[in-house]
Amino acid sequence: MSSQDVTLRQVFSLPEPGVKDPSPDRWNRFQATVSREVKTIKWPAAMPDVAEKICELFDVKLPDLFLISWRKADDLRRALAESKKTPDATKYLELVEHVIRSEHHPYVEARIGGAPVHRIQFDVKLTFRLKGFVLKIKAGEIEEMQTGRCEVEGRVEYAGLPIAEKKLAPIALPALCKFKSEEVLHIYTAPATAPATN
C-alpha cells in the first residue's frame, strides 16, 4: 500500500486482509444483532469471512473523500469553471483552515439465489480538521493536493451498535497526492460541509 492510500480502514484500525482483528468482540456483538434481525437466514460464510468483506467497505482513500467535499464548495466550483477557459494555465488554490463533516452509509447485501434478503448498512460519521492544504488546478480539474495538517475523528455503527471509533487525533498524509480526472467515488457521496477558500 502506498503512502497515498491512507484509508478509512486505517483510520478506524480495522484489520487488513489476513490479519487477526485486535477487537474480535465487536463482531460477536454485531453477529448477535444481525442474527436477531434475520433468524431465518443461514449464513453461507463464517463470521470472520463476513467481517473481512465488511472491512473492505472501508478501503476508501481519504484524499478521495476530501475531493468529493471540496467539489461542492462554490469558490472551488468557480475556480474550476474559470480554469476550463484557459486549459493551459495552472492555478494554485490555498484552502483556509476548515472542517469537513460527512456521513456515509456503506452496506453489504445478503442474497439468496440472487435475490436480496437483508441489507447490513452501517452509519459512518466523520469529522476532518484540515489546515494548510493547497490544490493545483488545471483545465477544470483538481490535479494535485499538497497536504498540511489533518486531524480526524469518527464513528462506525450498525443499528446503534458501535463497531469502531476514532477519537480526534492527527493522521499522517503524504505531502502530495495526485488525482486522475476520471477518479470518482460513488459509494461515499453523501453531503458534506465544504471549505472556504482564499
Mean pLDDT of 9-13: 93
pLDDT of residue 45: 55
Q: Is residue 190 part of a domain?
A: no
Q: Is residue 90 part of a domain?
A: yes
pLDDT of 197 > 60? The answer is: no
pLDDT of residue 112: 75
How far is Cα 85 from Cα 89, in angstroms, rounded to an integer? Answer: 9
Q: Exposure of 135 by Cβ count < 10 A (0-12 exposed, 13-18 middle, 19+ buried)? A: buried
Lowest model confidence (mean pLDDT) among 3-17, 29-43, 54-68, 138-152:
29-43
Helix axes 25-37, 47-56, angle to 10 degrees: 100
pLDDT of 7 > 90? The answer is: yes
Q: Is residue 125 part of a domain?
A: yes
Q: Is residue 159 part of a domain?
A: yes
pLDDT of 10 > 60? The answer is: yes
Closest CA to 66 of 168, 145, 171: 145
How far is Cα 118 from Cα 115, in angstroms, rounded to an integer? Answer: 9
Mean pLDDT of 97-109: 93
pLDDT of 120 > 90? The answer is: no
198 in helix, strand or coil? Answer: coil
Q: Is residue 196 part of a domain?
A: no
- Parent domain of 154: 8-178
How far is Cα 138 from Cα 117, in angstroms, rounded to an integer? Answer: 46
Q: Is residue 195 part of a domain?
A: no
pLDDT of residue 48: 55
Question: Which has more confidence, 3 or 85?
Answer: 85
Q: Is residue 46 part of a domain?
A: yes
Please name the amino acid found at residue 169.
A
**Element (DSSP H or E) covering residue 173:** none
pLDDT of 190 > 70? The answer is: no
Mean pLDDT of 116-131: 92
Q: How many domains does the chain have?
A: 1
pLDDT of 153 > 50? The answer is: yes
Are 83 and 137 in contact, with CB atoms under 8 Å apart?
yes
Mean pLDDT of 83-87: 93
Global confidence as pTM? 0.80
Q: Is residue 194 part of a domain?
A: no
pLDDT of residue 131: 97
pLDDT of residue 108: 86
pLDDT of residue 111: 77
Percent of the chain predicted with pLDDT > 90:
55
